[in-house]
Amino acid sequence: MSESGSAVTSPPAEDAKGGGSAVSTLPVVGLTALVVGSMIGGGIFGLPSQMAKVAAPGALLIGWIITGAGMLVLAMCYQRLAVKRPDIDGGVYGYARAGFGDYVGYASAWGYWLSAWIGNVGYLVLLMSSLGVVFPMLGFGSGNTLPAIACASVVLWLLHFLVLQGVQQAAFVNTIVTVAKVVPLVVFIGIAIIAFDAGLFTQDVWGRALTIDGAPLGSILDQTKGMMLVTVWVFIGVEGASVFSERARSRRDVGRATLLGFALVLVLLLLVNFLSYGLVEQDQLAAMEDPSLAHVLAAAVGDWGATFISAGLAIALIGAVLAWVLMCAEILRLPSRDGVLPAWLGKENRNGTPVGALILTNVCCQALLIWTHFNEQTYTALIILASALILLPYLLSAIYQLLLAVRGGTLSDKVVGGLATVYTVWLLYAGGIQYLLISAIVYLAGTALFVQARRTAGGPIFKGWEYLLLAIFTIGAIAGVIGLSFGVITV
Positive or negative torsion for Cα 457, 459, 464, 466: positive
Average pLDDT over residues 54-79: 89
Average pLDDT over residues 304-324: 83
Phi-psi map region of 367: left, alpha, beta (phi>0 left; psi -120 to 50 alpha): alpha
3-state secondary structure 360-388: HHHHHHHHHHHHHHHHCCCHHHHHHHHHH
Tell me the pTM.
0.81
Are 104 and 6 within 8 A, CB to CB?
no
Average pLDDT over residues 44-73: 89
pLDDT tens digits along 211-233: 887 788 888 888 888 787 677 77
pLDDT tens digits along 382-441: 777 888 888 899 999 999 999 999 998 899 999 999 999 998 898 888 777 888 898 899
Average pLDDT over residues 357-375: 91
Instruction: Annotate 84-118 with DSSP letters as a single string.
Output: H-TT--STHHHHHHHHH-HHHHHHHHHHHHHHHHH
Domains of the chain (ranges, CATH numbers): 28-433 (1.20.1740.10)
Least confidently predicted of 1-15, 172-186, 417-431, 439-453: 1-15
Q: In 3-state terms, what secondary structure has residue 425?
A: helix
Are 120 and 321 within 8 A, CB to CB?
yes
Closest CA to 35 of 249, 365, 326, 309: 326
Please tell me which residue, 484 or 323, carries the higher pLDDT value. 484
Q: Which amino acid is at 419?
A: L
Question: Would the pLDDT of 106 be above 90?
Answer: yes
Average pLDDT over residues 315-340: 86
Percent of the chain with pLDDT over 90: 36
* Cβ within 8 Å of residue 57, ≥6 positions away: 201, 202, 205, 274, 277
What pLDDT score was predicted for residue 379? 66
482 confidence band (pLDDT: 50, 70, 90): very high
Least confidently predicted of 10-14, 105-109, 395-399: 10-14
